[in-house]
Amino acid sequence: MIISEILWSRGYLRRRSLQALAGFFAASPFARAQQDPFRGHPRIPKLDELATAFDFEPVFHAQVPRSIYDYTMYGVDSEFTLRRNRQAFDWVRLLPGAAGAATPSTSTTILGTPMAFPFLIAPTAGHGQLHPEAEMATYRGAEEAGATMIVSNVSSLPFEKIATAAKSPLWFQLYPRPEMEANAELLERVQAAGARAVVVTIDQQASVYERALHGRNLAASPPRAPRGRGGVQSANKYRVNEGRLWYEWKLFDELRKMIKVPMAAKGILTAEDARLCLDHGVDAIYVSNHGGRSLDYGPSTLEVLPEIVQAVGGRVPVLFDSGVRRGADALKAMALGASAVGLGRVSRWGLGAYGTPGVKKILEIVQQEFVHAMRNAGCASLASIDASLAKVDLP
């Protein structure tokens, strides 16, 4: 064979023609008969096969359409803060204790609500896209696992509907609106329906996420923001939700008068903002970066937690979320001063993958891990969890 022919045989055209030939054979009925007839029908594991919250994520992925999966998973822009939320837990080590209790006590009372475990279902939008029974299915799973649910302002079902059926206390999350009468009317309704606390979310959010933009041609339908958010969702070239750009501290003074139950401020990431919240009559500080969906390149919540706890000085409870996936994560946050932790995506994975039993199971897994971590760290009760348990090595 002459050299030019050898080069040709390894060249691009030759490879292309071989690929075409292989494609022809693969598409033939003979080859198809050899294929697995069940391809494309993934086996969904039974609930008792799942060992950690992470195990639910691929099942969730298999069970919901891609745009809905993405809506739950993504963070804003480069997703730096989304990743950092998880990374931060690796920078905190738990120190083993000598005398653990066989069955540590995990019960607590936060803002007047008794809780079997210091876990909250963080408010997340539109559970109707994850399950036909929407927030009712989440509530039932949370109730069976003994967790308190914070119902989002942009829930698929009205708060009153869930509250009427609920046996255990519910909290309500508010996205304040520029029209104060609209806030007053909504707050009156949810409090009349029995909201035990109101969580006012003040962090900004992008209206459109890059993952959704990239995915728009792949999804069966274009990703839609949940209804009723009150922000401008389209034709907004800066992608910040204009519905929330007007927030000012005096808003708290107005809202405070309308909220007769305890009020928490969600989205606090600095000691200064925490102090201002206290000046404006807030009953709890909720440290959160919206699960990496607010300001990208902002800090992880675990990094800023200690300075906020110090600024609050024990005057009100400090709630915490963003990145919690394991019981040990919760113990780390509590060692750094949180009174309770919220689970956002975790609860959505449970709901979208298995409905009510999934929510219950995923919560039970995290609760069991929490008890296990408490025992190994030598904690007999939540009161014995303190900074001596944690060694922080931030980079």
Ligand X SMILES: Cc1cc2nc3c(=O)[nH]c(=O)nc-3n(C[C@H](O)[C@H](O)[C@H](O)COP(=O)(O)O)c2cc1C
Residues that bind ligand X (CB under 6 A): 71-72, 85, 122-125, 152, 154, 173, 201, 266, 288, 290-291, 293, 321-324, 342-345
Describe the crossing of helices 134-145 and 356-376 by its angle, rounded to 10 degrees: 30
The dihedral over CA atoms of 175, 366, 390, 101, expressed in degrees to the nearest 10, equals 130
For residue 201, the minimal CB distance to ligand X (Å) is: 4
Question: Contact 375/62 with Cβ under 8 angstroms?
Answer: no
Q: Least distance in Å: CB of 349 to ligand X?
A: 9
**DSSP tag of 170:** E
Beta bridge partners of 93: 391
41 is catalytic: no
56-63 helix and 345-354 helix, angle to the nearest 10 degrees: 60
Cβ at position 133, least distance to ligand X in Å: 18
Within 10 Å of residue 370's Cβ, how many Cβ atoms?
23
To ligand X, the closest distance from the beta carbon of 390 in angstroms equals: 20
Token pair in block for residue 36:
């697995």
Taking the least distance from each CB to ligand X, the nearer of 104 and 177 is 177
Nearer Cβ to ligand X (74/354): 74
Helix (H) or strand (E) holding 93: strand 92-94
Residue nearest to ligand X (CB): 344
**CB of 121 closer than 8 Å to CB of 149:** yes
Say which of 41, 214, 290, 372 is annotated catalytic. 290
**What residues pair up with 265 in beta bridges, in sequence order?**
200, 285
Distance of CA 320 to the CA centre of its chain: 11
For residues 151 and 126, give the distance between their C-alpha atoms in angstroms, rounded to a whole number. 10
Our CB check for ligand X shows the closer of 100 and 158 to be 158
Closer residue to ligand X (CB): 71 or 354: 71
Amino acid at 155: S
Smallest distance, ligand X to C-beta of residue 24, A: 45
Nearer to ligand X among residue 104 and residue 290 (C-beta):
290
Catalytic amino acids?
290
